[in-house]
Amino acid sequence: MDETDRSILELLVENARITDTDMATMLGIPEGEIRSRIDRLQKEKVIRKFTAVVDWERVGDGGVSAIIDLKVAPERDFGYDRVAERISRFRQVKSLRLVSGVYDLQLHVTGKTMKEVARFVAEQIAPIQNIRETATHIIMKTYKENGIPFHEREMAERLPITM
Amino acid sequence: MRGFISERAQRIPPSGIRKFFDLLLTMEEVISLGVGEPDFSTPWGVSEAGIYAIEQGHTSYTSNKGLLTLRELVSRNLKRRYKLQYDPHEEIIITSGVSEAVDIALRAVVDPMDEVLVAEPSYVAYSPCVTLAGGVPVPVRCMQADGFRLKADMLMEQITPRTKALMINFPNNPSGAVMRRQDLKEIADVIIDHDLLVISDEVYSELNYSGDHTSIASLDGMKERTITLNGFSKAYSMTGWRVGYLCAPAEICGAALKIHQYVMLCAPIMGQIAAIEALKNGEEDKNRMVREYRMRRNLFIAGLNRIGLSCHMPEGAFYAFPSVESTGLDDVLFAERLLAEKHVAVVPGSVFGEAGRDHIRCAYAVSREDLKEALERMEAFISA
């Protein structure tokens, strides 16, 4: 992992559809090298997937997202890993992290309705062994996702010509 | 009624691109490569510092020299980055942008009819400021063949007994040229031999893509005969905050301070407080912007050469300065027609002095998407 790998990753995170040709020109290396580096980064699972950042609110199908905090009693020999592994298998769980602080695991869950999310947490997550407490935070509005602001900002105007 | 306008003001030629500018304002869907400022907003942490300063009621004058904390940070930063030694108490003045620093530097040292050499192509303000200071601007050409670097022989040709100072700006607006240590040494030798002063506008010093910036004042025997000008506008995307600085030996600094205190009093305090934040915590933001400029440069220069506008690789600032000779059009006509026909604005090189003729200045401080679109339009224009 060198400076060039990092630059490639940053460019891809910013725009996964950027062409190899552009990256090669911008970084001053041959196109073939860009391809082989990306291949390697995928093999090494540094790059997990190319995907899109969607503003689901604009899709307008009334879907619901929530952040769920979980307090978990860690298991001898396994810590949080086995519980986390079970939880992560649910299709509804979009992300799952071990965090410091009052709670231990933090989930991002999506569903079609508020009721569906609530039932999922109550019936599928909460009963799992070792889970001591849950706290559900319904997402009301997304301001920024993956570094991309979702609200419209007034574009600052520059003078069209300055010396 | 008699004419009230001073001869001095009359001697300043009107802006070379007024007509062009007016046309531009009437047009739609223009991609402007004519903007000489960053397209990034000020890093938010820096803006927050400015906002907080206002909220806390920091809305007063500061000392003429500027906030001591800022001068101390500037001093430390110049030492760390460019090996310059300036005493924050006696040798640094915070100014309202480098623009003001250019003016007070010239007025501090220029006597009537003194000649000031201006390395061209150059930023448009230097020669008028020399005139306003009562001096006579004398262009020194930087040649395309030399990568628009200033060469000692070209400099010597223009030196007369009336020559007092040399005004330089590297990394350069409009050419993007950078002077390496060896290039500067050759200039410094001439300067010392002829007992001249250098006024060095280094506002693009952080936008250097080929290595570390060398400040001419850091060369042996040069500090005592250099006025170093720099600021926050380009490195930290802070053009609107109006914060720059002038560094010079105490005697010269003292003279410049007398002018500064009567014409400007001080730089705006909220800008100074924001600048403190920029120096304390702005490094990563600055580096991120510099990386982006470098990538845009590579993209744009490759594109220019591909469509047949030959362009040397600029090593600094955010300007490409390609030749339009191959098109058979002169730079003014090229720029006018490109704007009228393809709605792409560039600045004719002759605006920056004779040495810029047959070139156009394209600022790549615009998004990569716009750069690519501009290249497509330029290609269509050239092949039509």
pLDDT tens track for B155-204:
999 999 999 999 999 999 999 999 999 999 999 999 999 999 999 999 99
In this complex, which of A7, A25, A161 lies closest to B17 when CB atoms are compared?
A161
Pairing between strand B319-320 and B197-201?
unpaired
Please, which residues bridge with residue B119 across strands? B140
Q: Residues B91, B112: contact at Cβ < 8 Å?
A: no
Whether residues B253 and B156 fall in one domain: yes
Among residues B281, B304, B325, which one ends one of the domains?
B281
Whether residues B88 and B189 fall in one domain: yes
Instruction: Choose from B20, B35, B332, B336 for mutation: most chain A CBs within 10 A.
Output: B35
Query: Under an 8 A CB cutoff, do B21 and A161 touch?
Result: yes
State how far residue A160 is from chain B, nearest Cα, in angstroms. Answer: 6
Size of interface A-B (CB pairs under 8 A): 50
Q: What is the pLDDT of residue A113?
A: 94
Whether residues B57 and B198 fall in one domain: yes
Please, which residues bridge with residue B283 across strands? none
- Band (pLDDT 50/70/90 cuts) for residue B80 is very high
Cα separation, B346 vs B367, whole angstroms: 15
Query: Domain with B56 in it: what CATH number?
Result: 3.40.640.10
> How many C-beta atoms surround the C-beta of residue A131 within 10 A?
18
ipTM of the complex: 0.87
- Band (pLDDT 50/70/90 cuts) for residue A74 is very high
Query: Under an 8 A CB cutoff, do A163 and B298 touch?
Result: no
Query: Under an 8 A CB cutoff, do A27 and B345 touch?
Result: no
Q: Residues A103, A96: contact at Cβ < 8 Å?
A: no
DSSP three-state, residue B287:
helix
Query: Under an 8 A CB cutoff, do A160 and B35 touch?
Result: yes
| A22 contacts chain B (CB < 8 A) | yes
The structure tokens listed for B128 are: 């008028």
Dihedral pair phi/psi, residue B96, rounded to 5°: -80, 80
Dihedral pair phi/psi, residue B247, rounded to 5°: -125, 130
Whether residues B360 and B236 fall in one domain: no
pLDDT tens track for B22-38:
888 889 899 999 999 99
Cα separation, B202 vs B323, whole angstroms: 25
pLDDT at A62 over 90: no
The structure tokens listed for B172 are: 């350069």
Q: What is the pLDDT of residue B15?
A: 79
Whether residues B148 and B172 fall in one domain: yes
Q: Residues B15, B352: contact at Cβ < 8 Å?
A: no
Q: What is the mean pLDDT of residues A29-35?
A: 97
Residue B2 inside a domain? The answer is no
Q: How many domains does chain B have?
A: 2
User: Mean pLDDT for chain B?
Assistant: 96
pLDDT tens track for B249-304:
999 999 999 999 999 999 999 999 999 999 999 999 999 999 999 999 999 999 99
Cα separation, B75 vs B92, whole angstroms: 8
Pairing between strand B360-363 and B347-348?
antiparallel
Pairing between strand B136-141 and B163-168?
unpaired
Q: What is the mean pLDDT of residues B56-80?
A: 98
Cα separation, A53 vs A142, whole angstroms: 12
Whether residues B24 and B130 fall in one domain: no
Amino acid occupying residue B35: V
Domain with B289, as residue range(s), is 7-42+284-383
The domains located in chain A, with CATH, are 3-43 (1.10.10.10), 60-140 (3.30.70.920)
Tokens 């001419």 -> residue: B216
pLDDT at B90 over 90: yes
